[in-house]
A and B are shown apart, each in its own frame.
Chain A
Amino acid sequence: GENVEQHPSTLSVQEGDSAVIKCTYSDSASNYFPWYKQELGKRPQLIIDIRSNVGEKKDQRIAVTLNKTAKHFSLHITETQPEDSAVYFCAASERGSTLGRLYFGRGTQLTVWP
Chain B
Amino acid sequence: NAGVTQTPKFQVLKTGQSMTLQCAQDMNHEYMSWYRQDPGMGLRLIHYSVGAGITDQGEVPNGYNVSRSTTEDFPLRLLSAAPSQTSVYFCASSRWDSEQYFGPGTRLTVT
Contact = CB atoms under 8 A, between A and B. Distances in A.
Contact of B96 (A95, A102, A107): A95
A52 to B, nearest CB: 13
B33 interface: yes
Nearest to B59: A1
B104 interface: yes
A73 interface: no
Contact of A95 (B35, B43, B97, B103): B97
Interface string B1-38: 00000000000000000000000000000010101000
A105 B104 CA distance: 20
Interface residues of A, number: 23
Contacts of A76: none
Interface in B35-79: 35, 40-45, 48, 50, 58
Contact of B50 (A45, A89, A98): A98
A106 B35 CA distance: 13
B100 interface: yes
Interface of B: 31, 33, 35, 40-45, 48, 50, 58, 90, 94, 96-97, 99-100, 102-105
